[in-house]
Structure 1
Amino acid sequence: MAEASLASTLDLLAREMAGAEDAWWIIGSAAVALHGGDPGTIADIDVIVSRRDLDALYDRLPLSDTPDEGKAIFRSQRFGLWSEPAMPVEFMAGLEVLREGEWLPVQPRTREGIDIGGVRVFLPERAELIAILELFGREKDRARAATLRNI
């Protein structure tokens, strides 16, 4: 997707999340791009939120609970896909990743705010994002982590 699609979607996302009661984070390819790494293709924006904030988003936005079947190594307590923006946004509360037969929680501990065109978005600090990408273990995630190490 084009950089303009990412920027316009981040703008909408930041505005929707401005009233969030709990911490939230962008992870995955969009977070790699925001840290200055090479994310490869950015197909969507992955956002970790609290259950309370995701419930509130369901009240405000046309979200669907249809996770991508191609991502069977991930599950969450609640999922919401927002497909109206230029780039789809996937909200996940209680995200877990399957590694060696065990479901492991994915919950960032660090939080860095970045201003993009007058709005603020949040992501894990670079070292923690690298650790999350390595936990995911997919080839594309390992490649993204490698680009962040070289910054």
Structure 2
Amino acid sequence: MLSADLRQTLVMTADALAGAQDPWWVVSSAAVALHGVAPIEVGDVDVLMSVADAQWAMDRLGVVPIEDGASALFRSTLFARWEMPPLVVEIMAGFHVATSSGWTNVLPRTRVPIFVDERVVYVPDRAELAEMLRLFGRPKDLERVRLLISQV
């Protein structure tokens, strides 16, 4: 069961992205929760989008890209935080993760629609989400993989 804050944030996100031209996905902990895994702690909602749609969404939402949004592990061509919903929504386009073979582009191949209060939110399928979280490799991501696989 989704928390009230997560549910409201996902509804606001789906409404805000309804005019997107390209596919978009909720990933990471929020996607794990949307697959029905419980308990799972969701601190924010991560959204992957195309560069054009991310720019459109940022303009529409009145948020500006963060220039220093990169870390040693992650970087994005465009990155912004939408702070109006109960949980922060991180909008990412051109998202990459650092791996042993260099920077690896992260763009889901699968797209599963999940209904949240009559809105559609898209996530990668379970197998691809687990693969993505393994690629991230942090302890919290590996725990999410364990929960995702054990609660089918």
TM-score, normalisation: structure 1: 0.92
Distance change in 2, residues 1:49/1:69 (3 Å): closer
Q: What is the deviation of 1:5?
A: 0.6
Indicate the residue corresponding to 1:55 in structure 2: 55
Q: What is the deviation of 1:118?
A: 0.8
Further displaced range: 22-31 or 62-71: 62-71
Indicate the residue corresponding to 1:95 in structure 2: 95
> Is the contact made by 1:115 and 1:121 (CA closer than 8 Å) also made in structure 2?
yes
Residue segments in structure 1 that go unaligned for 5+ positions in a row = none
> Is the contact made by 1:64 and 1:82 (CA closer than 8 Å) also made in structure 2?
no
Aligned-residue Cα RMSD (Å) equals 1.9
1:30-49 deviations in Å (ceiling 9; x for gaps): 00000012463211100000
1:49-71 deviations in Å (ceiling 9; x for gaps): 01111111122112233378795
Indicate the residue corresponding to 1:11 in structure 2: 11
Distance change in 2, residues 1:70/1:24 (3 Å): closer
Indicate the residue corresponding to 1:22 in structure 2: 22
Q: Whole-Å Cα distance in 1 between the matches of residues 130 and 141 of structure 2?
A: 9
> Is the contact made by 1:97 and 1:105 (CA closer than 8 Å) also made in structure 2?
yes
Further displaced range: 7-16 or 71-80: 71-80
Distance change in 2, residues 1:18/1:125 (3 Å): same
SS at match of 2:36: coil
Distance change in 2, residues 1:130/1:107 (3 Å): same
Indicate the residue corresponding to 2:144 in structure 1: 144
Indicate the residue corresponding to 1:121 in structure 2: 121
- Report whether the alignment pairs 1:73 with 2:73: yes
When the two structures are aligned, how many residues end up with a matched partner?
Answer: 150
1:60-113 deviations in Å (ceiling 9; x for gaps): 112233378795310001111101110000010010001126111101000000
SS at match of 1:64: coil
Residue segments in structure 2 that go unaligned for 5+ positions in a row = none
Indicate the residue corresponding to 2:64 in structure 1: 64
